[in-house]
Amino acid sequence: MKRRKTDMKTVRQVLSLVRPHSGLVGLSLLMAVGQAGLQLTVPRFTGRAVDLIVRQGSVDFEGVARLLVILCLVSAGAALFQYLMGVCNARTVNRVVRDLRTAAFRRFADLPLSYLDSHPSGETVSRVMTDVDTLADGLLLGFSQLFTGVVTILGTLFFMFRANASIALIVVLITPLSLFVAAFIASRTHHLFEAQSKARAVQTALVDEMLTGQKVIGAFGDEDTFLRRFDDSNEALRDASRKAIFYSSLTNPATRFVNALVYAGVGVFGALRVLKGELTVGGLHAFLAYASQYTKPFNEISGVVTELENALVCAERVFRLIGEEPEPCEKPAVLPQAAGAVGVNSVSFSYVPEKPLMNGLTVSAQPGQRVAIVGPTGCGKTTLINLLMRFYDVNAGSITVDGTDIRDVTRHSLRRSYGMVLQDTWLRAGTIRENLLFGRADATEEEMIRAARAAHADSFIRRLPQGYDTVIGEDGGALSQGQKQLLCIARVMLCLPPMLILDEATSSIDTRTEMKIQSAFARLMEGRTTFIVAHRLSTIRGADCILVMRDGQVVEQGTHEELLARKGFYAQLYQSQYQQAQSA
């Protein structure tokens, strides 16, 4: 019962996507009526031709030739209507797919970071691409077969009851068995198609993982491990597909068997009527043709049922993605131009309820102050940055900017007030110019070049084949990690936001260039509140305040000299790094 309710809910969701294109659907239905109507006249003309041949032992060649011309015209008209119906169906399905993918893509922008962190990107891509394609195939087949099938069934019933009601009744009573057989098989293949979709998503996620990490995999010589994992996923997909295809393939032969019984019944009872003189040979020929046309849609629709079952499984997965809870609703207020006073007030937070990470964290940053955040791996540095940017919301306490709780303003206005350079760089596929202007689309050419020079990126950019118009691939393409980081730094320098977040911003840059970048950062940070996350403590000695974190708490706070004088945890971290540098 629960499965049936889920199916009906998915069907209603699919129909809601089709509804805006009801005009095309109506036109397709008219084409189906025209195609089926013309096709239904063919048995009548062929029956008449048979009677003209066998009647009185002489052939009426003129009458037969006239009927052949009519048959050619009717068949041509039916083919035209079928073509136009196919065009309407294809446009409808393409628009539905466009709307569905657009809705899914827009949902990406609204999904909380917690969802993206907990779901493999390849599995999500599989839902938006492969599952939507499967749904499109099912819809296209469904529209094409369903419209003509329904019209054909109704039309053949009319002609058969008009010719001989008793024989038509036999056809009507036996044929629906094929639908019952198809529905019985389809109801038991739903979970098999679901398993197939899940196995396909796992394999897509593995391929995405291997492509993004190919350099690391090659460096460690771990290709065989991934090949084994791929073989395992391939085997799982093969098993799931084989079971789904095997059981769904039972539908066609089962329904064909029922249809053969119908055809045989019509032939036997029709022959008896011919012998009694109640039916002509041509009439029997027409009746057999109508019986064949009547059973054919049942056979096609029963095959469509299994395809639609697969399509519904895929649609359900896509709708589950679209139906995921978005980021919590935000208030419409906009954060004004920020002065940069940031307060973290008794904040508690955990990614998983049973594993608390922060409890009562309090931090204060004044406008224009440079605040460094240091501590061992896993102490909560990146988590604090995520909370400041409101990628996650606090469980308790509050974070304020200029005294305003960041939950009381839009995320866009909050994030617009920050400039961010992360250790993990991100560049879009496109030109160098497009990547730099991504931070500020209205910047002039001079401003862009000035920012690139300040980030010491201008020299290597000009050495590229087309300079600022050089096209780079996804995530920077063939650029070195250091070059990609310089571009990200230049992008932020172009924005000039009131607050900055530098998370290991120079980790991939050589020491000489880093010294130049630090001087550029010093100019950039003047008058701007800056949060600096760094593992190399030598880079944050000039910070106005250093927060030393451990286990989600600030255990020490002060300037570099003050913390060294206390000879606490920070002093231990600094001395260990200093000794490592000396030994190196």
Residue 2 confidence class, pLDDT cut points 50, 70, 90: very low
Is the per-residue pLDDT at 320 higher than 60? yes
Q: Which residues contact 127 (CB under 8 A, 6 or more apart)?
A: 104, 201, 317, 318, 321
Q: Which residues contact 175 (CB under 8 A, 6 or more apart)?
A: 258, 259, 262, 294, 295, 298
Domains of the chain, by residue range, sit at 15-322, 342-583
550 DSSP β-pair partners: 553
Q: What's the gap between Cα 546 and its chain centre?
A: 42
In terms of phi and psi (left: phi > 0; alpha: psi -120 to 50; beta: otherwise), the region of 328 is: beta
Q: CA triplet 125, 127, 128: central angle to 5 degrees? A: 65
In terms of phi and psi (left: phi > 0; alpha: psi -120 to 50; beta: otherwise), the region of 329 is: beta
Crossing angle of helices 481-495 and 511-525, in 10° steps, is 10
H or E segment to which residue 485 belongs: helix 481-495
Is the per-residue pLDDT at 56 higher than 60? no
Compute φ and ψ for 363, nearest 5 degrees.
-140, 145
How confident is the model at residue 173, as a pLDDT? 78
Structure tokens at 19: 């509804």
Biggest CA pair distance of the chain: 123
**What is the rounded distance in angstroms from the CA atom of residue 330 to the CA atom of residue 52?**
79
Rg (CA), the chain: 35
Mean pLDDT over residues 301-311, rounded? 70
pLDDT in tens, 488-507: 888 888 887 888 888 876 66
Least confident of 31-35, 156-160, 472-476: 472-476
For tokens 């394609």, the residue is: 133
Structure tokens at 297: 């849609």
Mean pLDDT over residues 310-336, rounded? 80
Q: What's the gap between Cα 330 and its chain centre?
A: 25
How confident is the model at residue 567, as a pLDDT? 86
How confident is the model at residue 149, as a pLDDT? 77
Contact 412, 327 (CB under 8 A): no
**What is the rounded distance in angstroms from the CA atom of residue 160 to the CA atom of residue 273?**
14
Q: What are the distances in angstroms from CA 217 to CA 204, 208, 214, 233, 425?
A: 17, 13, 5, 18, 20
Rounded to the nearest 5 percent, the helix, strand and coil shares of the chain are 70, 10, 20
Mean pLDDT over residues 279-307, rounded? 73
Residue 410 confidence class, pLDDT cut points 50, 70, 90: confident
The number of residues in the chain equals 584
Residue 1 confidence class, pLDDT cut points 50, 70, 90: very low
Is the per-residue pLDDT at 106 higher than 70? yes
Q: Which has the higher per-residue pLDDT, 72 or 283?
A: 72
For tokens 């094929």, the residue is: 178
Q: Of 505, 465, 470, 261, which is closest to residue 370 (Cα–Cα)?
A: 505
How confident is the model at residue 24, as a pLDDT? 86
Q: Of 411, 398, 247, 250, which is closest to residue 329 (Cα–Cα)?
A: 411
Q: Of 304, 308, 302, which is closest to residue 182 (Cα–Cα)?
A: 302
Mean pLDDT over residues 546-572, rounded? 85
Mean pLDDT over residues 233-247, rounded? 83
Mean pLDDT over residues 42-48, rounded? 77
Per CATH, domain 15-322 is 1.20.1730.10 = no
Contact 400, 576 (CB under 8 A): no
Mean pLDDT over residues 58-83, rounded? 83
Q: What's the gap between Cα 455 and its chain centre?
A: 36
Q: Which has the higher per-residue pLDDT, 556 or 291?
A: 556
Q: What are the distances in angstroms from CA 86 to CA 93, 140, 188, 304?
A: 10, 9, 31, 16
Say which amino acid occupies 50.
V
How confident is the model at residue 202, as a pLDDT? 82
Structure tokens at 335: 């954060």
| Beta strand 553-558 pairing with 358-365 | unpaired
How confident is the model at residue 128, as a pLDDT? 81
- Give helix then strand counts, H and E, for the chain: 22, 12
pLDDT in tens, 355-377: 778 888 888 888 888 888 888 87
Q: Of 548, 572, 560, 521, which is closest to residue 384 (Cα–Cα)?
A: 548
How confident is the model at residue 538, as a pLDDT? 67
Structure tokens at 490: 């230049």
pLDDT in tens, 419-447: 887 777 778 788 889 888 887 888 888 98
How confident is the model at residue 400, as a pLDDT? 92
Compute φ and ψ for 346, nearest 5 degrees.
50, 50
Crossing angle of helices 165-174 and 132-163, in 10° steps, is 150
Mean pLDDT, all residues of the chain = 79
How confident is the model at residue 225, as a pLDDT? 79
Crossing angle of helices 281-322 and 132-163, in 10° steps, is 150
Mean pLDDT over residues 7-27, rounded? 82
Do the first three CATH levels of 15-322 and 342-583 match, i.e. the same topology?
no
Q: Of 3, 12, 14, which is closest to residue 314 (Cα–Cα)?
A: 14
532 burial level (CB within 10 Å; 0-12, 13-18, 19+): buried
Tell me the CATH number of domain 342-583, given options 1.10.510.10, 3.40.50.300, 3.40.1280.30, 2.40.70.10.
3.40.50.300
Q: Is residue 505 helix, strand or coil?
A: coil
